[in-house]
Amino acid sequence: MTPFPDVALALVREGVDLTMRQCAVLLTVARAEEAQTVRGLAWELNVPSPVITRAHTKLVERGLLHVVTDRTDRRSVLITATAQGMEMAERMTGAPVRRAA
């Protein structure tokens, strides 16, 4: 497995420009068995919900995450990794990551 700093440098050299926070959100979502909520990600990463919202918005814009409204709670959204997001997560970890159900 390639150390993360080496992977991060390689990605930046390829033109991939993600913050560490965006990387953490992407990896957390990609490794999850189920779709994630903003509140759940905030709890898991120990940051305020607006921080997660800003990060996932940028990742959605880049095509790495997909967001849908939660049918059971219309105030909430469910966040999953796209195929491109899963590929990016695997590049970051150097290993397969768990696919969301």
At residue 100, the pLDDT reads 44
Tens digit of pLDDT for each residue in 55-84?
Answer: 999 999 999 999 998 888 888 899 999 999
Tens digit of pLDDT for each residue in 10-61?
Answer: 778 888 888 889 999 999 999 999 999 999 999 999 999 999 999 999 999 9
From the list 61, 80, 55, the residue with the least C-alpha distance to 69 is 80
In degrees and rounded to multiples of 5, residue 3 shows phi and psi of -60, 140
pTM of the complete model beyond 0.75? yes
The residue ranking higher by pLDDT, 98 or 44, is 44
